[in-house]
Structure 1
Amino acid sequence: MWTSQMIVLFVLAGSSLSSSLNTGVDTPSRNKRNSLQLCDIIQRNTRRNCLSYSFYGCFCGIRSWGSSPLDSSDSCCRQHDNCFSSIGRSGLPFLTYSYHCSGNSCQCTDSNRNSAQYRSCQCDVQLGQCLRNANYNILHNLYPRRRCR
């Protein structure tokens, strides 16, 4: 569910992403919103625009629908929702955390590993890694939610 809310924020922030994410510079990242950080992590891991996942399948995008993921990418989003749920704190999509990426390898750098920020970062990094190894089916982009079971 949190994945959905964060990814919808990508649409609102889309115009600012192209200039900030395509610099090729590997520096510690700190952005205004967690959704921008998640977008960066997704793009680094998949080499796809993070908006490609905004309305993908039943679990990526605006809230989760149904109980069965359509494919491995959709399953990654479901796992991300579950990861955020396990943190058990509201407002997670708006938390800003510290992380560093080199190429497609990202690490969380918040010093307090028990903090919601660090754990939120871990969920996002795990999503990026999962999506990197998952298949992407263009037919599942803009998938009609009424067909989710």
Structure 2
Amino acid sequence: LKVLILLVPLLAGILEVKANLLQFGIMIRATTGKSAFPHYSTYGCYCGIGGKGDPVDATDSCCKTHDCCYEKLRECNTKTDRYRFRTQCEKRICECDKAAAICFRDNLKSTYHLKYAYYPNWLCKGASPDC
């Protein structure tokens, strides 16, 4: 019982850290019918952590645009702030995520391709487009 009492706050902290990413994943699933992992978490040159070079297609460009949207929110905790709509940051993060999810949906049939789902970073060439 003592171990459980100690683990509950720890687990709550871990869940808080990933809260926004989980919400974004739920939004992607609701909008596209695909789960964020594995379909978008490592897609192309910009979906997932980091990003460089030319986007491989319009779906990857959605991720580049999302990265740029987050870049404008430097004063916000884009990975951890949840959509509670109590602050401008929470609202703006949700708007960035919503725009990306809609972009994914709009490009699902025209450009999404499984060959880019686990795209190796070393294949990402060219100058990174400016935001």
User: What is the TM-score normalised by the length of structure 2?
Assistant: 0.75
Q: Give the match for residue 34 of structure 1.
A: 20
Question: Per the alignment, in what secondary structure is the counterpart of residue 40 of structure 1?
Answer: helix
The number of residues matched between the two structures is 105
Residues 1:64 and 1:76: Cα distance change in structure 2 (over 3 Å): same
Superposed CA offset, 1:102-146 (max 9, x none): xxxxxxxx265xx11100000000010000001211000110110
Q: Give the match for residue 91 of structure 1.
A: 77
* Sequence identity (%): 32
The answer as to 2:36 corresponding to 1:60 is no
Deviation at 1:90, TM superposition (A): 5.0
Letter in 2 for 1:124: D
Q: Which has the larger radius of gyration?
A: 2
The answer as to 2:53 corresponding to 1:80 is no
Question: Which blocks of at least 5 consecutive residues in structure 1 are unaligned?
Answer: 1-30, 99-109
In 1, Cα distance between equivalents of 2:62 and 2:117: 15
Tell me which stretches of 4 or more aligned residues in structure 1 moved more than 3 Å.
none
Contact 2:29 2:35 in 1 (8 A): yes
Deviation at 1:87, TM superposition (A): 1.5
The answer as to 2:120 corresponding to 1:144 is yes
Root-mean-square deviation (Å): 1.5
